[in-house]
């Protein structure tokens, strides 16, 4: 094998490895369907791939229904955390799904077929939820929580790391009344579960 062929093979493998991969149960071609169209029944029986954050999980006699705050999906078909909500939908699938596992705030993506709508109270308001007869319900892993820890990098009377409160110290022009804002290192805090991101809609 020539060096050029080897180089192209390695670069191709790296490119493929860097591509976002949709989980196997969620793969397929789906035409985007707006929730507003589904609410009016204009997209009945259309195949959809929708996702978002669980509002409520309700096991019933033979199936479990997930009430979901819909969000746009990224290139992996995962809900985009913090994005403006697209509305709400309900997805129902045969079998029992534990509400303690599929609890409020967890992210799911579902695939299935639109099957009309259901009325469900949101406070005192009757909301029309487009209904998905789901064939796949994919529960995403929890996102890591990140915390900020200050990191100082200047020289001053307190040593090579500078004043822990002001960050002032020596510089190329000598010591002076300079203020160097402390840099911040963001590190994962794996001891806590992330709170749900604020919603814009």
Q: Which of 12-16, 65-69, 129-133, 144-148 has the lowest mean pLDDT?
A: 12-16
Q: What does pTM read for this prediction?
A: 0.65
Of residues 81 and 78, more confidence is placed in 78
**Alpha-carbon gap, residue 145 to 151, rounded angstroms:** 19
Q: What structural domains does the chain harbor? A: 21-139 (2.40.50.140), 143-201 (no CATH)
The values of phi and psi at residue 148, to 5°, are -100, 130
Q: Cβ(140)–Cβ(106) under 8 Å?
A: yes
Q: Which range among 12-26, 69-83, 166-180 has the greatest average pLDDT?
A: 69-83
Mean pLDDT, the chain, integer: 77
At residue 198, the pLDDT reads 61
Query: Three-state SS for 96?
Result: coil
CB 50 within 8 A of CB 80: no
pLDDT greater at residue 6 or residue 49: 49
Q: What pLDDT is stored for residue 149 in this prediction?
A: 52
Burial of 161: CB neighbours in 10 Å, binned 0-12, 13-18, 19+: middle
Total residues found in the chain within this entry: 201
pLDDT tens digit string along 80-98? 988 889 999 999 999 999 9
Helix (H) or strand (E) holding 189: strand 183-189
What is the per-residue pLDDT for 192?
47
Nearest to 185 by CA among 142, 145, 147: 147
Residue with tokens 């190329």: 172
> What value does the mean pLDDT take over residues 126-152?
83
Query: Given a cut of 50, is residue 26 above it in pLDDT?
Result: yes
Locate all alpha helices (DSSP H) within 21-178, ordered by sequence: 35-39
pLDDT band at 72 (very low <50, low <70, confident <90, very high): very high
Residue pair 46/114 in contact (Cβ under 8 Å)? The answer is yes
């Amino acid at each position: 094998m020539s060096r050029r062929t080897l180089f192209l093979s390695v670069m191709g493998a790296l490119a493929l490895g860097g591509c976002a991969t949709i989980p196997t149960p969620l793969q397929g071609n789906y035409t985007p369907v707006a929730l507003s169209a589904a609410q009016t029944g204009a997209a009945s029986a259309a195949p959809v791939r929708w996702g978002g954050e669980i509002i409520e999980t309700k096991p019933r006699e033979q199936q479990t229904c997930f009430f979901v705050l819909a969000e746009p999906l990224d290139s992996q078909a995962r809900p985009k955390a913090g994005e403006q909500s697209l509305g709400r939908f309900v997805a129902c699938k045969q079998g029992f799904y534990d509400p303690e596992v599929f609890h409020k705030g967890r992210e799911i993506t579902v695939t299935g077929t639109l099957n009309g709508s259901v009325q469900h109270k949101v406070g005192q308001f009757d909301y029309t939820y487009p209904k998905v007869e789901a064939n796949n319900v994919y529960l995403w892993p929890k996102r890591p929580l990140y915390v900020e820890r200050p990191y100082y990098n200047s020289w001053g009377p307190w040593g090579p790391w500078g004043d822990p409160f002001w960050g002032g110290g020596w510089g190329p022009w000598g010591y002076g009344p300079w203020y160097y804002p402390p840099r911040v290192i963001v590190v994962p805090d794996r001891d806590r579960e992330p709170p749900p991101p604020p919603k814009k809609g």
